[in-house]
Amino acid sequence: MAYEQVRARVIPDKTYETHVRRFISGATAGCLSVFFTYPLEVIRVRLAFETKREGRSSIVDICKKIYYEHPPASRAPSTYVDTSSVSRAAVTTATAAQATVQAVVPKHGLINFFRGFTPTLWGMLPYAGTSFLAHDTIGDIFRRPAYAQYTVMPKSERRSKDPNKPPQLKAWAELTSGGLAGAISQTVSYPLEVIRRRMQVGGVVGDGHRLGMGETARNILAERGFKGFFVGLGVGYVKILPMSATAFFVYERLKYWMSI
């Protein structure tokens, strides 16, 4: 829904249709969707992680754990202060400022359900943008006159009420364009996907410290090198190819049957 609404504003007609505008439409739609669904993703990942480690856990228990998690109390490093050069008032002010910052920074609460949200958002930009861009571009190639007799459903353009809507592709062509779009977008965004999952389980590994995006990336690089950002990509293809192909096929066919 978000993609159609954004696309209608970014690309009001064929004269505005460019690769950049297609990418922007898909990326914006992806960011809108992930904002509303991300807490459920965190719960799903943690449920799978803790069930494997500790046995069966309920969704309510997982939600409580996530909500009340907080990093251990930070200990201020002992430092030598030369009172001859620094006034006691200045030291007191600095200490008070540090205490204030620690008091206002949230230690637990709803913010924990958005652990890893930043890399997810950054990952969604190339993923959704590339996915819709690749799907539409591959569809344009399949609709070229040289291939149309093999790839396009006959007379399908007559059913649409919008003259800007392209004709429907045959089942195999639509499934192919959707699967390829999923594979391309998965490859482009996968490193950020690895970082996101590492941040999501940050409360149950290590010392509970909320790792930032840069810190998480450095840890992965130190542990496994550059290849660490692509661990599991092969299995990801096994999942994303049929999922993306089916999603785009059903999406396009339902729009066609409903005359949207």
- Inter-residue contact 130 to 184 (CB < 8 Å): yes
For domain 2-71+91-257, the CATH superfamily is Mitochondrial carrier domain (1.50.40.10)
What is the spatial distance between Cα 51 and Cα 125, in angstroms, rounded to a whole number? Answer: 31
Residue count of the chain:
260
The pLDDT, as a whole number, for residue 98 is 46
Q: Phi-psi region for residue 210, left (φ > 0), alpha (ψ -120 to 50) or beta? A: beta
With 0.75 as the threshold, say if the pTM is over it. Answer: no
The pLDDT, as a whole number, for residue 92 is 52
Of 30-44, 58-72, 87-101, 239-253, least confident by mean pLDDT is 87-101
3-class SS of residue 55: coil
- In the chain, what are the domain boundaries? 2-71+91-257
Q: For residue range 16-65, what is the model confidence (pLDDT) as tens digits?
A: 889 999 999 999 999 999 988 989 988 888 887 776 666 667 888 888 88
pLDDT category at 9 given cuts 50, 70, 90 is very high
The pLDDT, as a whole number, for residue 75 is 46
3-class SS of residue 45: helix
Q: Phi-psi region for residue 156, left (φ > 0), alpha (ψ -120 to 50) or beta? A: alpha
Q: What are phi and psi of 152, to 5 degrees?
A: -105, 140
Q: For residue range 131-180, what is the model confidence (pLDDT) as tens digits?
A: 999 999 999 999 999 999 999 998 776 665 566 678 899 999 999 999 99
What angle is formed at CA 229 by the lines to CA 19 and CA 201, rounded to 5 degrees? Answer: 110
